Amino acid sequence: MKKLTTPILIAYGGLAIPLAALGLPLAVYIPPFYAGPIGLGVGTVGIIFMIARFWDIFTDPIMGMIVDRYPSRWGKRKHWIAIGVPVLMLASWFIFFPGGNQSPFYIIIWLFILYLAFTFVGLTQQAWGVDISKSYNDRSKVYGWREIGSIFGMMSVLALPAILENAGSSEKLRRTRNWRTRPRPLRPPTWSSSRVSGAAAAKLLLGRRAPGTANRVSPSASLSRLSRRSCSPSGPTFTAKPSKRPPAN
């Protein structure tokens, strides 16, 4: 038996990281996901998960006997982990990405396959810890590193959504700041704006009525009239317009 070293402990405990990272959202996030957005209902999802957990009562002892009785040339444990990991990855993909509304049979089939593969990998890893060392203290180290890997996996899967959300918020804020500070191109003048500006320039510079505008008095004429009225001795005068009524008979 090989001497128990730190790389061996890290390699053994590292297998617990993805298992813990998978098991936590499978128990916390997947049931409300299938009950809400997928539309299966809380009661249906609860019954399916309850039956799937009862399924482990029969699969765990059977898998334990198979793992102990059927070794291979690579050892008693390695080949079972190599078989279970691809099946676990495939079932996890179909469980976490259902692709729209699904029937209850969809989650029943893939959830049972996932728990079966999870049993293959998890149970084999736990049994493998006994084979690594025969010493009591060394076995304590082995399973201690396994618990460290499990805690790290759970903490990672809990912190990952917050990290991704903060990264997305920072990127959105950066894009907003760049959009506000970047120079904006000038818009070309349109026909209506050119007409209005031309009319205003003709009225101010020439004192004439520009084409397409109302017949108004020029500013210079208005100022001259106002100055003549204010400078007269009798003050401003107002001329009454003759009445347009016909004379009374």
pLDDT tens by residue, 66-91: 888 888 888 888 888 888 999 999 99
Average pLDDT, the chain: 76
The reported pLDDT for the residue numbered 87 is 93
Q: Count of CB atoms within 10 A of residue 82's CB?
A: 14
- Tell me the pLDDT band of 114, cut-offs 50, 70 and 90: very high
- Of all residues in the chain, what percent carry a pLDDT higher than 70? 67
Q: Count of CB atoms within 10 A of residue 20's CB?
A: 21
CATH superfamily of 6-179: MFS general substrate transporter like domains (1.20.1250.20)
Fill in the amino acid letter for 198. G
Q: Where do the domains of the chain lie?
A: 6-179
Token couple for 127: 């049994």
More confident residue, 226 or 176: 176
The reported pLDDT for the residue numbered 204 is 47
- Of all residues in the chain, what percent carry a pLDDT higher than 90? 16
- Tell me the pLDDT band of 210, cut-offs 50, 70 and 90: very low
Token couple for 161: 């959504």
Mean pLDDT of 143-148: 91
